[in-house]
Structure 1
């Protein structure tokens, strides 16, 4: 498990670490306090993945296609 700041992680980094966290929790070979810490980090990683997916979906939805399916421009996406 990484100590990298979650808010700086890419989707791929957050997902990879989330998979590690889930694996450790499923094995059940960690102490209770460590399990709680892992669960909390996992919840934050899941939120990061959700946010990055939403951001990507908004970018894709902002692309306008012409009759032939070619991009003709993009609309700005609110970053808020």
Structure 2
């Protein structure tokens, strides 16, 4: 069953949330988890995914605000994720 002392998702860093999400996906892919536990860890996985997405959005917004011209911030331009 899911651990009782899990850390609150909203306090995790991106790296922590992603690492835990990868572990959950691995457990679900192996299929060796009871149905009730599968549901519980799937729900946590969904929350972790949301946390990662929110942190990535925040990082993209910060990058979008920075555009350097001649060594000085010269305004903003959209973030190109590629």
TM superposition score category, shorter chain reference: 0.7 to 0.9
How many equivalent pairs are there? 73
Confirm or deny that 1:44 pairs with 2:41. no
What is the CA–CA distance in structure 2 between the aligned matches of 1:71 and 1:49, rounded to whole Å?
30
Superposition map of 1:1-80 within 5 A:
3-66=6-69, 68=70, 70-72=71-73
Native 8 Å contact 1:63 1:71 kept in 2: no
Q: Secondary structure at the match of 2:41?
A: helix
Q: Which runs of 5+ in 1 are unaligned?
A: 76-80
Q: TM-score, normalised by structure 2?
A: 0.80
Question: What RMSD in Å do the two structures reach over aligned CA positions?
Answer: 1.9
What is the CA–CA distance in structure 2 between the aligned matches of 1:71 and 1:26, rounded to whole Å?
48
Q: In the alignment, what sits opposite 1:78?
A: none
Runs (4+) off by over 6 Å: none
